[in-house]
Structure 1
Amino acid sequence: MVLERPERCQDLQHFIRARRFLSEEVARELFRQVLEAVRHCTSCGVLHRDIKPQNILVDLATGQAKLIDFGCGTYLQKTAYTQFADCQDLIRWCLSVHSLDRPSLEDLFCDPWMQDTHLP
């Protein structure tokens, strides 16, 4: 899914670096907006699972923050989350030094992470 990207925006990490620091008022407003975004997501039954400065866009014209990149997202559930949001183990397996230790294509298709077909 592709959504709009404000014409003049920066992710929060670059926004802070470019200014070297944020005033308390600006930091509070951005934090409030992120909290509102998270509240909205959870009210819709969605868990982001990867909130970090790189996944928060700041519109330079309006100061509006947008939470982006729901690639690790999932639906909220009442039971414990048993799978990690990332597939680092699978990547490590693919990057094994010895070719015989690497997964086959069939191994990859059978990996539990690949079997999870729930999209956020």
Structure 2
Amino acid sequence: MEADITQIIIQLLMGLAYAIPTLFFIVISIYYLLKMGSQIDGILILIGNVIIFLCIVIGRILFIQFAFYQQWEGNMYSYITTAISIVSVIGSILFAIGIFLLMKKVIKTKSLTL
């Protein structure tokens, strides 16, 4: 099957639409780090989101390679996507820890002002 360029572009745009919230969080975390300095919560949020974003991009590229160019067998694609999913979970955990630390800091600050 010959790859149709419009289908490839549609798949890339769908992947980009899925990645927009992650890009938004990357921008927010960079802004937070610039305003507050290098703090562990901001760094964890940024690293987690960058990992998630890279997993989204790599996963979309691999899907295009598998679906349109049929470069690999199904088993190989399954192993690769499983590995990407594991890395994405690690990024999500880093993001969640960063958000938790940020919320803890905000709650502590709010309780001191009351």
Q: Give the TM-score category using the shorter length.
A: under 0.3
- Between Structure 1 and Structure 2, which shows a larger proportion of helix residues? 2
Query: What's the TM-score, normalizing by structure 2?
Result: 0.26
